[in-house]
Chain A
Amino acid sequence: MMKVLRSFPPTWDWPMAGTESRRDLILAAMIRVVGSKGYKETSVADVIEEAGTSRTTFYKHFDDKHECFLAAYDMLVEQVFAEVVANCDSEQPWLERMEKGLTTIVDLFAVDPELARTAIVEVAAAGADARQRHWNAVSRFTEYLEAGRELADGRELPENISLMSAGAVSGLIFDELLAGRAAELPALLPDLLFAMLVPYIGPRAAADEMRRVAQAH
């Protein structure tokens, strides 16, 4: 079956009949095709071929490629987010939760490079509103980082600190995806964890976490 489907086994509902399922099929196809061909090179014809639907069905649901991409992107974010939340237990200490969340994203990206490219790289090619959606998604994830402020013992950290953390992590992931190394992302997990934690806990403690994760994985 399809990769997008495989990456979301617990939450992905795959109805096989009715118009709703056709819409979902088109959205999943959009994510896959954009991830492999690039947004600019992707045509509506590519998407309906991948989805196995007709042109009429496509235009019944979407005005054009762009509108379909935005809907597909929203779906992608919801799925990744649901997966992260499902793997993070709010009872756990902050450090453990952050590690679990990051590991979930990295593993998702590694098994589904096309989804990863669409999520991180190709979204930049899809216009200002797509980039806005990307930033909104990043902000949703960085909200979870905010609790790390408590580790600073009342010291004043910059307001933007979670954005720094997210920028460092997504920059590293972007480079790997651009170089076609999605499958090797899990090997980078220790570095990614260091990047995410270091603004909050400093290099010494972040390096300890990095070594711990490197041994565990």
Chain B
Amino acid sequence: MPQAGGPKRERWRPPRGRHRLPPEVIARSQRERLLEAAVRVVAAKGYGATTVADLTREAGISRTTFYAMFADKEACFLAAYDGVVDALVRRITTAYDAEEGWPRRARAGLAALLEALAEEPDVARLALIDVGAAGPAAQRRYRGALQRLTPFFDEGRDFAPGGRNLPANTSRMAIGAVAGLISDELAAGRAKQLSDLLSDVLFATLVPYIGPVAAAREVGATSR
């Protein structure tokens, strides 16, 4: 995940003058720099106020290079957004896969998500809140990003007694509940305290599958 909120790192630039790096390597590094710059700038200024000039300046690339890669600001933002989501999903997956048993796996995945979001509050707000201001395509990307979490939730069907008979939309409901809780914290400026939300988001994940009694029990059991 790009270091939006952290201290500014030295930006890597290709050596000046004639160099031997193959053109595709240069292009890839320019693209990565641009996407990281897009996350930083949009997180700081908001999508509406961000211009292509801001992006090229922050990334240290030319306008020509920008338009060789992306048709406009929106296309660049969407690619950057996908990068943020990929990084988050990778982190969730790693934590989830390291555990045994669905409630513990869910807890680990959610803890990794909250931790990642708390590390970079600007990126977190970009990923969950400001994305709504970036137009319909971005909103669809946002909902698409949430749907990528479906497999982690759907494992609850095998875990729950009678889980096969639950509505097909059960994972979407649980995801909506979790996203609602996290967005509420972010909107209230409590990004740094997101980890305190772990018990609640775990309860919200488990409850449509196993009900409030078992969910409360599992929240207690997995925290030990």
Contacts from A to B (Cβ < 8 Å): 38, 40, 121, 124-128, 131-132, 135, 152, 155-160, 163-172, 174-175, 178, 188, 190-191, 194-195, 198-204, 206-207, 210
Contacts and interface: CB of A to CB of B under 8 A. Distances in A.
A156 B219 CA distance: 12
28 contacts: A124-B132, A125-B133, A125-B135, A131-B132, A132-B187, A160-B204, A163-B181, A164-B177, A164-B204, A164-B207, A165-B177, A166-B180, A167-B178, A167-B179, A168-B177, A171-B173, A172-B176, A175-B143, A195-B176, A195-B208, A198-B173, A199-B203, A199-B207, A199-B212, A200-B212, A202-B211, A202-B212, A203-B166
Nearest to B131: A124
B114 to A, nearest CB: 14
Interface residues of B, number: 40
Given A121-B139, A171-B172, A202-B207, 17 more contacts: A124-B129, A124-B132, A124-B133, A125-B135, A127-B133, A158-B199, A159-B200, A164-B180, A167-B181, A171-B180, A172-B172, A174-B143, A188-B169, A198-B207, A199-B177, A199-B204, A204-B211
Contacts of B173: 168-169, 171-172, 191, 194-195, 198
Given A167-B181, A210-B167, A204 B162 contact: yes
Contacts, number: 131
A148 B27 CA distance: 57
B210 interface: yes
Contacts of B135: 38, 40, 125
B140 interface: yes
Interface string B143-180: 10010000000000000101001110100111111111
B180 A203 contact: no
A203 B187 contact: no
B124 to A, nearest CB: 15
A38 B133 CA distance: 10
B176 A170 contact: yes
A193 B129 CA distance: 26
B129 A171 contact: no
